[in-house]
Amino acid sequence: MNTEQFEKYQLFTENTINKLSQRVTELEKKLDMFSNLLDISKYINKYIKDPNLFPIINDMLIGVFGAKQSNIYIKIKDGTFEAAAPNDSMEFIEAGISLIMQHNEKEFILNSDTPIFAEGNKENQPGSRIHSCLGVPVEVENRMIGFIVILHNEKNYFTKEHAVFLTLIGNHIGIAIENNFLYKQIIENSNRDGLTGIFNKRYFFDCLYHMSNIMEQNYSIVILDLDGFKRINDEYGHPFGDLVLVTVAGIIKGMMRTSDIVARYGGDEIIIFLNNFTDREKLSKRVYDMKEQIAGTLITDGDKSLHITASFGVFIKDNVVMTLDECIKKADENLYISKKSGKNRVTISRS
């Protein structure tokens, strides 16, 4: 073998070794990626029933990608998106949604010398320092259910490899989201009265018994009872009686704050917990509004129509140490007074 042939052979050998080395490196990367993916899948499944699943996933994505921020957006029924665990200003969240829509809900990678979210963000705000952005859809069985947007301060940080890896993670996240929603729905249904859709008695007491310092807190208890409900069932039939209960429950539920708890207490009794609502004048107005709206509603089913009324017992617990059961007993006593005084009445007392 002459010198020229040896040099060609040596060059061929070096090129072959380099190519094999590159393939080994790529295989090692893929192996690491799948190994990491397996660990991530186990981690996500560990928290699948956790009510804080979305913040947990966001924190995990920040750690895995070394990112500045992560947001998971859920696609809702009207086709728009909302942040599953909002931890930024609404302007920042809406900017992420805007990027999703601008890219037609498709994967995108943005790398910019100037801050991506500079517009509308003041200096030293999170958006004024984001230079790299990665977004991928979350799909389950070829159906989009959400979107992941990850942000980084460094320029040219995210690459196609990041997008591939995030898509693979997104498949696991999608399944976790659906299972988490299903689990929440099962729990929610178990806490609801099957007929009226308001909370059941068990949930009402479970929730309040676990409330910290319930004996010291200020709140009001309202109990209402439908007047002549047995007669309604006897004369109009139980299906019509069910319609009455559903209608009244809907009226009450529509007049509540998000912090209030409304539950079916007995057959035709509804109990309401109004936390930190002890102003007698305001509370009286609210309860009388409920009473009048119930009395003013004509309930119709085919050729059957009826106006119904309800009696109310209210107890205001203000700056006194009492058990929940003691407060409910006071409200129940006031309800008894309303019923005996002619019905369609409100009786209020306070501590």
What is the reported pLDDT for 307? 95
Band of residue 176 on the pLDDT scale cut at 50, 70, 90? confident
Q: What percent of the chain has pLDDT over 70?
A: 84
Q: What is the pLDDT of residues 266-298, one digit of tens each?
A: 899 999 999 989 999 999 999 999 999 999 999
Q: What is the pLDDT of residues 299-319, one digit of tens each?
A: 999 999 999 999 999 999 999
Half-sphere CA count of 254, side-chain side, radius 13 A: 10
pLDDT over 60 (residue 1): no
pLDDT over 80 (residue 143): yes
What is the reported pLDDT for 76? 86
Q: What SS3 class is residue 288?
A: helix
What is the reported pLDDT for 125? 52
DSSP string, 48-62: TT-TTHHHHHHHHHH
What is the reported pLDDT for 36? 63
Q: What is the pLDDT of residues 12-50, one digit of tens each?
A: 556 665 665 565 455 445 445 455 667 777 878 787 788
User: In sequence order, what E strands does 227-321 have?
Assistant: 261-264, 269-275, 298-301, 304-307, 310-317
Tokens, residue 341: 């005084």
Q: Does domain 201-350 have CATH number 3.30.70.270?
A: yes
The total of other beta-carbon atoms located within 10 Å of residue 121's CB is 19
The b/e string for 87-120 (b: 16+ C-beta within 10 A; e otherwise) is ebeeebbebbbebbeeeeeebbbbbeeebbbbee
Q: Where do the domains of the chain lie?
A: 47-189, 201-350
Pairwise CA distance, residues 10 & 112, whole Å: 44
The amino acid that residue 223 corresponds to is: I
Q: What is the pLDDT of residues 226-256, one digit of tens each?
A: 999 999 999 999 999 999 999 999 999 999 9
What is the reported pLDDT for 272? 97
Q: Between 154 and 51, name the one with better pLDDT.
A: 154
Q: Between 275 and 51, name the one with better pLDDT.
A: 275
What is the reported pLDDT for 177? 87
- Strand order from edge to edge, sheet including 81-83: 81-83, 69-75, 143-152, 132-140, 108-111
Helix or strand (DSSP H, E) at 143: strand 143-152
End-to-end CA distance of the chain: 108
- Strand order from edge to edge, sheet including 346-350: 261-264, 269-275, 219-226, 310-317, 346-350
Per the prediction, the chain carries an average pLDDT of 86
Burial class (CB in 10 A: 0-12, 13-18, 19+), 18: exposed
Q: Which residues pair with 222 in a beta bridge?
A: 272, 314
Helix or strand (DSSP H, E) at 335: helix 324-340
pTM for the model stands at: 0.57
Q: Between 193 and 41, name the one with better pLDDT.
A: 193
What is the reported pLDDT for 53? 85
What is the reported pLDDT for 322? 94
Pairwise CA distance, residues 102 & 94, whole Å: 12
Q: Which of 80-94, 173-187, 269-283 is most confident?
A: 269-283
Question: Which candidate, 267, 280, 270, places its Cα nearest to that of 318?
Answer: 280
CATH T-level fold of 47-189: Beta-Lactamase (3.30.450)
Pairwise CA distance, residues 115 & 265, whole Å: 56
List phi, psi (to 5°) of 255: -105, 5
